[in-house]
Structure 1
């Protein structure tokens, strides 16, 4: 694993599920994890699930990548949606895991065409609903 940034494969299912979230709105969120030398789909949430459901699905002591489809209403009363890419790297996760996720993030993010906002979080307060909402507007 000398060159994790370029050697990390992305499972085709990651791109397929992301496209379904973006184009068909099949999911509210998708979480991804690194297994061995590739990024794979971890979990997904149905369109009815909330932001709290999403944050509760993230492990407390392991890194994950995630995409979240955030619906909101602008000050002009327009319904909008933005797709967030969240790099979840809790302080309690192992250092090696954090390094692998950090070095592979940009490569993985490039595979997902349509990310509108990126957020890095090391604890839940860094990705609170208020922060998501302020970054969306």
Structure 2
């Protein structure tokens, strides 16, 4: 049955077999904690540019910060390993990243952390996006 309620069974004179499909839950089993000094927005890819991540806080972009990050780490959820895996480390002042390796036609979950001079990471900011299927 489609989103409009149309059914092949209803309009077919021939026998029709029904199949039941169960969608895998790809939602991270590790919650993103509250209280991040960063704000992350993810938007899905439409072409070959990849998913776009944009964040602010801790001196990202033009934003001033009393304690700016020395670098930023971008992580993507990997359902196979059930962990957020680091996919990029960017310099201080960075505020955008294009994930060109995101799987097409699926949902990607991201986190971004700020890294201080002593190596400590901030509380992560998280977001997710749906990537358009390959044409």
Q: What TM-score do you get using the length of structure 2 for normalisation? A: 0.31
When normalised by structure 1's length, the TM-score is 0.31
- By percentage of residues, which structure has more helix? 1
Which structure has the larger Rg?
Answer: 2
Kindly indicate whether structure 1 or structure 2 has the higher relative contact order, using CA contacts under 8 Å at least 6 residues apart. 2
| Structure with higher strand content | 2
